[in-house]
Amino acid sequence: MRVLLLREREVGELLSMREVIAAVEEAFRLKGEGKTQMPPKSYVFFPRHGGDFRVMPAYLEEGEEAGVKVVNVHPGNPDRGLPTVMATILLLDPSTGAPLAFMGGTLITNLRTGAAGAVAAKYLARRDSRVVGMVGAGAQARAQLRGLREVLELERVKVISAHPERTREYAEEVRREYGLEVEEVRGIREAVEGSDVVVTTTPSRQPLVREEWVSEGTHLNAIGADAPGKQELDPGLLRRAKVVVDDVEQAVHSGEINVPLSSGLFRREDLYGELGEIVAGKKPGRTSPREITLFDSTGLALQDVAVAWLVYRKALRLGRGEEIEL
């Protein structure tokens, strides 16, 4: 059995953010049309190590694309010289079940999450959004901004994180690479107030963004809550906003809404719907310049598999990767 091996470096050479956004948007459309299979992600927790890993399978029926990702989340890893998130992806032939490709999935995970935020902003943010408030300054904050720049005409970024040196590095990088105005603010309130789009990318288990800081017309991408017990936003903000999730079951279990739901501060029926329903045209996105919209991103196996197949097909066409015998 021969399998194509693609290393992280090769994956990066085969992808652009614009391509990833297109693949993720298409995956959302297919989900909204009921043309996918995606069991809820399975978790294994490491309490003594403060981390976990997840197993995420999916099948996109229209394109005959199947695969599974294994990914960890260890927030303490940067202090060990390792990424917080590391992943691998295995692609399968749906007609036989045979493995086709094995590839690094860390960059794909990072980019597809940024792409999901971009797709959400495309349908939910105001078209005249110019200012982004970033709460968090790590790898995902970079991917989110990279994605947002593809769908919005941004002019200014305000950023804060729990690590001043990372905030400084982020600001310098954004100025250098994108030529945007960047302000390193002193508090989360400063990052939120006056921002058209607010993005949270932290592993917090306590609300960081207060309801009263968020103005009418703001769009929020809540990215950090991806496991039970995590939350970044004031539950009152959820009750005030049009809340859109990537997947209802995953969001209920481990998304931004999981804690407010379990504590009775938010109801399942208060959800507006899934982003796939909006992309598929089944529900409208933003309907007023004054409404507050909120995207609760948990990260979908569909996104990983869609992007991994994009990489695989390009690799075959360009003769990239290494064939190995299992």
Per-residue pLDDT at 59 = 98
Do 164 and 32 fall into the same domain? no
35 given a catalytic annotation: no
Q: Which of 273, 258, 308 is nearest to 124 (CA)?
A: 273
Give the SS3 label for residue 246. coil
Mean pLDDT per block of 10 residues along the chain (326 residues) reads: 96 98 98 96 94 97 98 92 94 98 97 98 98 96 98 98 96 97 98 98 96 98 92 96 97 95 94 98 98 97 98 98 96
Active-site residue, from 41, 69, 122, 242:
69
In 3-state terms, what secondary structure has residue 122?
helix
Q: Are 168 and 175 contacting, i.e. CB atoms less than 8 angstroms apart?
A: no
> ∠ CA 54-57-60 to the nearest 5 degrees?
145
Nearest-angstrom CA–CA distance, 264 and 128: 35
Residues of the domain holding 94: 2-109+302-325
**Amino acid 4: pLDDT:** 98
Amino acid at 185: V
Q: Is 41 domain-assigned?
A: yes
Same domain, 149 and 20: no
List the CATH number of the domain containing 313: 3.30.1780.10
Domain co-membership, 12 together with 100: yes
pLDDT at residue 226 in the model? 84
Q: Are 41 and 82 found together in one domain?
A: yes
Give the C-alpha separation, 112 to 156, whole Å: 23
Q: Are residues 287 and 151 in the same domain?
A: yes
Domain assignment present for residue 119? The answer is no
**How far is Cα 112 from Cα 116, in angstroms, rounded to an integer?**
6
Tokens of 164: 């001043």
What is the pLDDT, as a whole number, of residue 237? 97
- Residue 38 near residue 250 (C-beta atoms within 8 A): no
